[in-house]
Each structure stands twice: as structure tokens, then as C-alpha cells.
Structure 1
């Protein structure tokens, strides 16, 4: 065995990422009459719990270790209608920031589900015909930098008129009164045929970014990147992104999840690796000096051929 093989982590997906375990325990289950699936976002919620957001407008609190549901709450818009809820932040004060890609929107909710605030959204990022965002292609990822002041949302796909390989990251800055105002915007270079379903902030301002795609008869592509927006150009005043004249967000591939060991996982549809599914949510659940514990979850779309699956990764950044 070579020295490189000896240093490679157990259950390695790449030199930077290894798979600790996976769980299908919540697949096709219900809790208090609510279907536990369609999960699109995860966020550490304190007190030994993890918040899990369904894109059908349900917010679950899961036991952080066992992943068993402890509670569920329905979220609505100002008119009492359900959201297409995709991104989630559990804030330090117990409130939640939730993105919906219908408009798109970002709202702040109390722990009881009451709307406390609604953040401004640039006109161009609104869903067509009001703006240039694709239907079901706007705010998917949502994360708050550890300083608690900068919120970041990722568009899933490029705006109409922008280069198809560039998606926009929109930021907001929290003012002293607690409200968020629009901040800088950045261009993130996404892989061909892929979109951005989730982002998660690290302590130094860098981001973990999921890129995902699906090809009928082949299955899902899921890549995990480390991205650094700190020297990227503010593109909030750039009408059309062509890739010229702007510094895009720098990114480094951490792993293609198809390279992970399957660990006995099975798939109900063709996949390049039976472990894969429609991975859509991500959260950092722990950290040591040189490693992050990262939890991923798939959105099963309430489909019999798909699975609500949690993956536990160890990631070196």
C-alpha cells in the first residue's frame, strides 16, 4: 500500500471528503399527520435539535443525533398561503429566515411561525415576468455568516440574459435595528448543466456550495465545492453577466459524490452511484481543528422512486 493510500481517509470520496454514514430512516414516514419528506434545507437549531425545511411549507425540528422528528410547524405567506420554501437559517435569537422561490422572497419568522419581517429583493432577481429569474430557479440556498450580520442567498440558475454558467449570490447586511438591507452581489461560476441548491457559510467567510443536476436515465450529479467570495466583484450594478470584466467567486472542488462508497445504499432509479439522490439540503453540524462534520439530505419529491436520505460527511477545508 502506498503512502497516499495509507493517508486517504476511511470511506473516502476524495482526499478532502469521506462518508461517515447514511440513513433512510425517515423515508416515506409521517409525523403528527405531516409527510416527512420534500426536505430542501437543514440548519443547526440549538438545544440538540436540527431544523429541517420541507419545500411544501413545513418546518420540522429533528433530534440532532437520531434525526427523529420532535415537532413540526406549518409556514405561510402574509395571506396564509403555502410557500415553495427552499432555504433556511436558524438565527441566534431563535427566529428563522426562510426563502421561497415562488416570488422569490426571504421572510423572517418567530419560533412560533409568525412573520416578523420580509427582506427586499432586487427587481432583476424576481421570477419572470416580473423579473429575469427562471420559474423554480431562484433562491434555493440561504446562509448567514457566523458574524450574524451578512445573509447570503444563492440563485439556483442564471438569470435570463446572463451567461448560463454564472449564477448570482445576493447578500443582505443586518442593520442595528435588526432589519436587513440589500448588500453586495456576486457571480458564481456553476458547472455545465448544474444548478446551486444549497450554500453553507464557514467561519472565515468562505462557503460550502452544492452543485446538482439530473439527467433522465442516468441520474443525479452532485458536486461539493469550497467557494471564496471575498475578492469577487460586486455585480449588483451589472445588468448582464457575460464573464468578462468581473472577478467571479473562486471555487475548489472538494468531491464528486458519485465517488463516495455506496455503503450498501440502494436506488429506486438509475444513478451513477446508488447512494445518490436529489441532494438539496446541507448543514455543518460539528467541527474540529482540521475537519467539518457536514450533513446532507435529499428531497424525495414525495416520489416512490426517490428517497429521503441523510448523508454524514467529514470534510477537510
Structure 2
């Protein structure tokens, strides 16, 4: 999403992943050629989150005549490589270790129109599920970019006047829950009529064998984002909980980026609730703060605009790239909006859940 400036007073394939690693040089505080910083011992952002390194290697680069950036979603492919979606209607393949692009595929809707692509899931058959916040929508694509299917969307989640969603505030995050039968999309901002900060998470369900069974509308949940922040990304953990990224921007100050662990399993199904006003009979998704990334060490990073920590930028994409005994490897990426004062930056985190 092209993140809107908000004032300070505003309210608003895991099997492959477990073996994916990324190489980087050993120096922790200088940025060598290629833009990598490595932290062999880890650097704490909080008691449960540390940052190993970051990479600016793809910032303001091109591949096959296409600008590399505007990244809004990440996923691990079945072979351990990375897929990255740009909100300018492009799907990239990236090397899992070096991040070097090795493929780019244009994306469009059924009529050939460009999309504001945001969330990305690589399904077990290798097809790509991609959300767009334009309508909003979730479509299934072949590896070569052909539209194969389109999932149903509740009327209320559509952008006004068709529904109650604000423009540029719909499906941002997209993730497949363990078992592969439930798909979840996160709205970025609240619907008209819902209390500020309460955003809806929509799910879809399919049959047990998932062989040709389409996704059908499932339960819906409510999640309260921090004041002034939206939800740009969500990823399912192996135990069925969610990593939720919250983000905001204040002009002249910079970005706020927080990582939460959330549990939807006892939350109320809000698909039949017209207005979410914080009523007592609606159980919101419970969340626990893992880290406010402003507290991460900067690792020598520089920012092109004011930031409370020069490491921060417009972080929008997230993928779980490894898991072992309650510890996750998590990769984040920022959306530079093809803007000279923003950076395409990848962040390598270790998260204990």
C-alpha cells in the first residue's frame, strides 16, 4: 500500500521454510558492498525478538526492465526460494540466500487491468493466492500469471460505495493457516461504522483433501490495532497463532512498526456483527507485544528521511522462513513506494514464541 501520512494525533509452504537460510558477511556494524549487515550473536529488540542483519541490496535496482521495489508481500516457495509481490502489479522470484531476482511476472485482473497487489501465499500446488486492496479481492494465479480463480468477498468489506471499507485500507495481509485448509486476510483499517482501530480478519475454508475444492467464506474475527496504526501484514505460526505487523507514519517523525503475537482461536465470529463498537459480547483476537522495532539496534543503517530509528522504513511484507522448537526466523521487507526518500530494505529477525 502507498502508506498515507497520518498526524501524531490521528486515530486511525512451511516445510520449505524450515530449511531456508540466508547468508551474510560477519561484520555487524558496517555495511559492505551489497548492503548486508550480519549479527552473528543476534541483537535484541526485546526479550523475544532479535535482529540478525538487514540488506539494502535491492534498493533502487531493476530486473528485466522492471523496477525492483514497492514490495508489499513475501512468501516462501516450495523449493525454498522467495516470492515477492509488488503493489505495482508484479510478482518477483528471489533467491532465498542472496535475494537476487531471478523472475518477474506481470499481474492483472480478469480484464487485464492493473492491481494494487498486497498479500501473497504460495499454495501447496505451487499456485499463488494474491490479495488486492483495490476492490478488495483475493485471486489465484498460475506461476505464469494467469488468473485461475477468484474468492468471494463479503459485501461489507468492499470499498465504498459498494461496501464500508475505506480506499487503500482493505486486504493487506494474507496467510494460510497450518493444515492448508483455512486462508486468512487482514484488513488494514476499520470499516465505516466500526470503532477506530478495530479491523476485521476474514477467513475462507476448503475441503479436507483440497483437490479442486474451492475456498468458501468462513469465520471473521476482530482485531484492535494500536491507536494510529494499521495492519499491513499477518502470518500464521505453526501452532495456529498469528504474527501481526502493525505500522503507522507521522510526517517529520517517521514510522512506527510493532510486531504482535495474536491468537484468534477463542475470538468471536463477527461475520454477522454489523458494527464493531468494542461491545462486551464480542471477544477480540488477543494479542501480545513481541517487539516495537524502534528498540532494535540500528546496525549502522541510514535513513533517507526522519526516522526515530534509522533502521526503520515503511515495513509492509513478512514471511516466516524457518521454525524450530518455538523459535521462528522471520523476514520483513519495506515498501519504498518507488520514492527517493524511502528504502527497499530486508530485515532478518529471530522471534521466540
TMscore range, shorter length: over 0.9
Q: Tell me the residue number matched to 2:160.
A: 128
Aligned to 2:259: 224
Per-residue deviation, 1:153: 0.3
Partner of 2:219: helix, strand, or coil?
A: strand
| CA deviation after TM superposition for structure 1 residue 48, in Å | 3.0
Determine the structure 1 residue equivalent to 2:8.
none
1:117 equivalenced with 2:149 (yes/no) = yes
Q: What is the CA–CA distance in structure 1 between the aligned matches of 2:276 and 2:344, rounded to whole Å?
A: 36
Map Cα deviations across residues 161-181 of structure 1 (whole Å, 9 max, x no partner): 100121000000013542010
Q: Which of these residues, 224, 240, 245, is aligned with residue 205 of structure 1?
A: 240
Q: Secondary structure at the match of 1:99?
A: strand
Q: How far apart in 1 are the matches of 2:226 and 2:334?
A: 20
The residue matched to 1:124 in structure 2 has which SS? helix
Distance in 2, matches of 1:205 and 1:11, equals 27
After superposition, what is the alpha-carbon deviation per residue over 1:120-154, rounded to whole angstroms, capped at 9, x for unaligned? Answer: 00000000111000000000000001211000000
Cα distance, 1:287 vs structure 2: 1.4
> How far is the alpha carbon of 1:243 from its aligned partner?
1.0
Aligned equivalents of 2:325 and 2:269: distance in 1?
A: 32
1:308 to 335, 339, 344: 344
**Deviation of 1:92 (Å):** 1.1
Indicate the SS of the match to 1:231.
coil
Determine which of 247, 250, 258 is the counterpart of 1:215: 250
* Closer, same or farther: CA 215–248 of 1 in aligned 2, 3 Å: same
TM, length-normalised to structure 2:
0.87
- CA deviations over 1:63-100 (Å, ceiling 9, x no partner): 01111101000011000011100000011101000000
1:198-237 CA-partner distances (Å, limit 9, x unpaired)? 0000111100000000000000000000000000000000
> Any conservation in 1 of the 2:197–2:230 contact (CA below 8 Å)?
no
Is 1:237 the counterpart of 2:269? The answer is no
| Secondary structure of 2:156 counterpart | helix
Name the structure 2 match of 1:21: 53
The answer to whether residue 128 in structure 2 is matched with residue 92 in structure 1 is: no
Number of the residue aligned with 2:290: 254
Deviations 1:237-295 (CA, angstroms, capped at 9, x unpaired): 00000111200000000000000000000000000000000000000001121310000
Kindly report the root-mean-square deviation, in angstroms, between the aligned alpha carbons of the 2 structures: 0.8
Query: CA separation in 1, counterparts of 2:225 and 2:326?
Result: 27
Matches within 5 A, 1:54-203: 54-175=86-207, 176=210, 177-203=212-238
Give the whole-Å Cα distance in 2 for the aligned partners of 1:55 and 1:121: 20
What is the TM-score when the length of structure 1 is the normalising length? 0.96
SS of the equivalent of 2:43 reads coil
Q: Does 1:31 align with 2:71?
A: no
1:5: which partner in 2?
none
CA drift at 1:46: 2.2
Q: Shift of the alpha carbon at 1:47?
A: 1.6
In structure 2, the partner of 1:271 is 307
User: Which 4+ stretches in 1 moved above 4 angstroms?
Assistant: none
The alignment of Structure 1 onto Structure 2 pairs a total of residues equal to: 309
Gaps spanning 5+ residues in structure 1: where? 1-8
SS in 1 for 2:221: strand
